[in-house]
Structure 1
Amino acid sequence: MIQDEDTPEADKGLAQRQIIHLIYGLFALGIVSCGFFGPAIIAAIVLAYLKRADMVGTVSAGHIDWVIRTFWWGLLWIVLSAIAMFVFVGFVTGAIAVIWVIYRLIKGWLAHCAGEMPLPGL
């Protein structure tokens, strides 16, 4: 049976849904390993930026933006918490920032599994 190149079966790459799972999985690996696999987070963000244009106008685009925003806001709060450690409140704010990143990661991944866009908010 000859397949037309325009059919989805002829697509040699990963499906958008699989790419989103890979991005969430890499991000989660970096978080769960307490930074030991930190490069996995960087790989997830690089992949998200590379695939962002391919997913414009789809549900997956919302997940790409969700992960990218989670990364940058989380990084900001972790850096500010590291600075605040000099006045001994950084441990608390750092813990809150990590919990927030984990919450957003879980919330987005569950929405993806349900085929929905992550809801705006926290």
Structure 2
Amino acid sequence: MNYPTDQGSNRTLTIALYLLYITAIFSGGLLALIALIINYVKRSAVQGTIFESHFTWQIRTFWWYLFWNILAFVPFTFLFFTGENPDAFAGVAFGASAFCLAAVGLSWIWIVYRAIRGIITVNDNQPMYR
């Protein structure tokens, strides 16, 4: 499919949004939320260009990033079921913490990967989806 190439403000905005997603890992996800809002507000302005697929890519990246970060904290709910047993509490707390750190760490790597892949693709003037 041939898309018109826009070298102007839409290109700059798309790259800026990718950078917001990358730096979101240092802001507790707040910058990703700001980028998501901009994605939804400006989505109609990029329809029919290669940037439409990048906006879709960014929006999906956010929602999956949020899902994995919420899932990372689910094991902590098991702490409520350990009762008065300190050994069980310690074991569950350790396991939940290890799982949480691994899941959050992997989601950070994943969001950075998706943003870098998007920046490379937008620099090649290509849509994210073919």
So what's the TM-score if we normalise by structure 1? 0.74
Structure 1 unaligned runs (5+)?
Answer: 1-13
Mapped contact 1:82–1:94 kept (Cα < 8 A): no
In structure 2, runs of 5+ residues without a counterpart are: 1-7, 77-92
Q: Name the CA distance, whole Å, in 2 between partners of 1:98 and 1:68.
A: 16
SS in 1 for 2:48: coil
Aligned partners of 1:97, 1:84: CA distance in 2, in Å? 16
- Post-superposition shift, 1:16? 1.0
1:27 aligned residue: 21
CA RMSD between the two structures: 2.0
What letter corresponds to residue 66 of structure 1 in structure 2? Answer: W
Matched with 2:57 is 66
Tell me the matched-pair count.
104
Higher helix share: 2
Q: In structure 2, what is the Cα distance between the partners aligned to 1:47 and 1:35?
A: 17
TM-score of the pair, normalised by structure 2: 0.70
Indicate conservation of the 8 Å contact 2:68/2:104, yes or no: yes
What is the CA-CA distance between 1:119 and the residue it aligns to? 4.7
Q: 1:45 touches 1:71 (CA, 8 Å); kept in 2? A: yes
> Offset of 1:94 from its aligned partner?
2.0
More contact order relative to length (CA 8 Å, sep ≥ 6): 2
For residue 107 of structure 2, what is the aligned residue in structure 1? Answer: 97
Larger Rg: 2
